[in-house]
Amino acid sequence: MKMNVLVVGGGGREHALVWKLAQSPHVERLLCAPGNAGIEKLAECHAVAADDVAGLVALAERENIDLTIVGPEAPLTLGIADAFAARALRLFGPDQAAAQLEGSKAFCKEILDAAGAPTAAWGRYDDPAAAHARIDELDTPVVVKADGLAAGKGVVVATTREEAHRAIDEIMVARTYGDAGAAVVIEEFLPGEEASFIALTDGHTVLALASSQDHKRIGDGDTGPNTGGMGAYSPAAVVTPEIHEQVVRGVLEPVVAALRERGIVYRGVLYAGLMIHEGRARVLEFHVRFGDPECQPLMMRLRGDLVDLCLAVIEERLHEVEIEWDERAAACVVLAARGYPENPEKGVPIFGLERAAQRHDTVVFHAGTRRTAEGQVLTSGGRVLGVTALDETIGSAVRRAYAAISDLSFDGAQWRRDIGHRAARAAGR
């Protein structure tokens, strides 16, 4: 069956999804909204914003779209799945009720508690005075989170009470993250090593994807402010077979069941951010879509057809599916703009893209890019490129990615030089 497929979004994750979908024999036409300068080489790009639900419905109807795959979280929390379902349009991604798992930190914690899944002790506060009073009762470090969506930000790990009080003022009083800061979740700090555990579910079956790990902080050695992610790799050694079993049986399956008990059938990507310590995994948060940049190495390693996987989720027949992975490792290194994450510089010319694209087992996924009428590619966002490579080990995949970065340049480019450092340490080198 030949299909017209639409991908919603315009970042590195969406470029990776488009890249994988372009290999599918099921895809006749491939569209993306809004896309970027890299995506436009593989798909027809349409200038409809990812959070313009009405515009996306109109686009899907006008272009006779058979399958829509949503990349970012914002349209999911705005109810794009519900809007598409109302028009009998097929879409891969959870409905608005299910997307609350990411849209509200408090809802996420309520579901985790209902499922009996391991997580940090927590409380929700919609009054700044009450939040400040709670901080005065707690030991540090302590974690303060904006309850709503804050584009991967809005989470402060405070090492002192003063820092925690400042975070509450920034989130709830100054409203640095807008309405996302109408309430905060204050929770205990969990020690350990973070990992991304990404699965597919059709509301009944849970099918885990290959393990991965990202690098949240801007600087080498995990220093500096949190970002949307400065790099990622797969597989992640910290996710042992025992941890894998713990998370599928003790977290994801109970969470899907707890949602079902509330009348919510979760269909889509279910991504648990984990903290792993002394052989035990606890849940930091949930995302309702593929991670970015974890999606890039995962799509490089995925064998088989992404369309088939999406349809199995939508049609609630995920139990029929097995996923095959390239046995090699994959690593992604993000090149970000000067000033990222606070105030990224835009409109800077990028050079060397054609040369880097010639490298074997390497793909330069575009994130924040646009092309001028004259054909020059410019930066247009904080995270600009995600250079992703396959090789026999994490270490060699990382080296291959860094070799491609040597071909690339734009003024003010910044990237971490230690992507995969945890994997290297686990391997003893």
Residues of the chain with CATH 3.30.1490.20: 127-182
Place domain 193-325 in its CATH homologous superfamily.
ATP-grasp fold, B domain (3.30.470.20)
Helix pair 105-115, 96-103: axis angle to 10 deg: 100
pLDDT band at 425 (very low <50, low <70, confident <90, very high): low
Q: Estimate to the nearest angstrom the gap between the alpha carbon of 365 and the chain centroid.
A: 15
What pLDDT, on the 0 to 100 scale, is given for residue 426?
A: 65
DSSP 194: E
CATH topology of domain 127-182: Dna Ligase; domain 1 (3.30.1490)
- In the chain, pLDDT over 70 holds for what percent of residues? 98
Four-CA torsion 66, 69, 74, 78, nearest 10 degrees: 30
Residue type, 220: D
Rounded to an integer, the average pLDDT of 211-235 is 93
DSSP three-state, residue 179: helix
pLDDT in tens, 17-74: 999 999 999 999 999 999 999 999 999 999 999 999 999 999 999 999 999 999 999 9
Integer Rg of the chain from CA: 21
Closest CA to 125 of 194, 187, 193: 187
String of b and e for 139-170 (b: at least 16 CB within 10 Å)? eebbbbbbbbbbebbbbbbbeebebbbebbeb
Residue-wise pLDDT for 339-362, tens only, equals 999 899 999 999 999 999 999 999
CATH number for the segment(s) 3-93: 3.40.50.20
Give dist(CA 355, CA 406) in Å, integer.
10
- Which of the 8 DSSP states describes residue 279? T
Q: For tokens 């949602």, what's the residue?
A: 259
Comma-separated ranges of CATH 3.30.470.20 domains in the chain? 193-325
Query: In angstroms, how far is the first alpha carbon of the chain from the final one?
Result: 48
* pLDDT per position as a tens digit, 291-332: 999 999 999 999 999 999 999 999 999 999 999 999 999 999
- Per-residue CA distances from 292 to 22, 215, 296, 298, 428 (Å): 19, 11, 7, 10, 28
Residue ranges, CATH 3.40.50.20, the chain: 3-93
Whether CATH 3.40.50.300 fits 329-426: no
Q: CA angle, corner 64, sides to 1 and 97, nearest 5?
A: 95
Average pLDDT for residues 186-214, to the nearest whole number?
96
**What pLDDT does residue 333 have?**
98
Looking at the chain, which residues constitute the CATH 3.90.600.10 domain(s)?
A: 329-426
SS3 of the chain: helix, strand, coil, percent, to 5? 35, 30, 40
Angle at which helices 105-115 and 253-261 pack, to 10 degrees?
100
Residue 266 has which token pair? 């979760």
Q: CA 420 to CA 92: how far, in whole Å?
A: 31
H helices of 127-213, in order, are 128-137, 161-168
**Percentage with pLDDT > 90 across the chain:** 95
C-alpha 243/C-alpha 260 separation (Å) is: 24
Pairing of strands 91-92, 67-70: parallel
In tens, the pLDDT along 99-120 reads 999 999 999 999 999 999 999 9
Tokens standing for residue 96: 């608005």
Give the C-alpha separation, 117 to 119, whole Å. 6
The DSSP bridge partners found for residue 194 are 275
d(CA 356, CA 334): 14
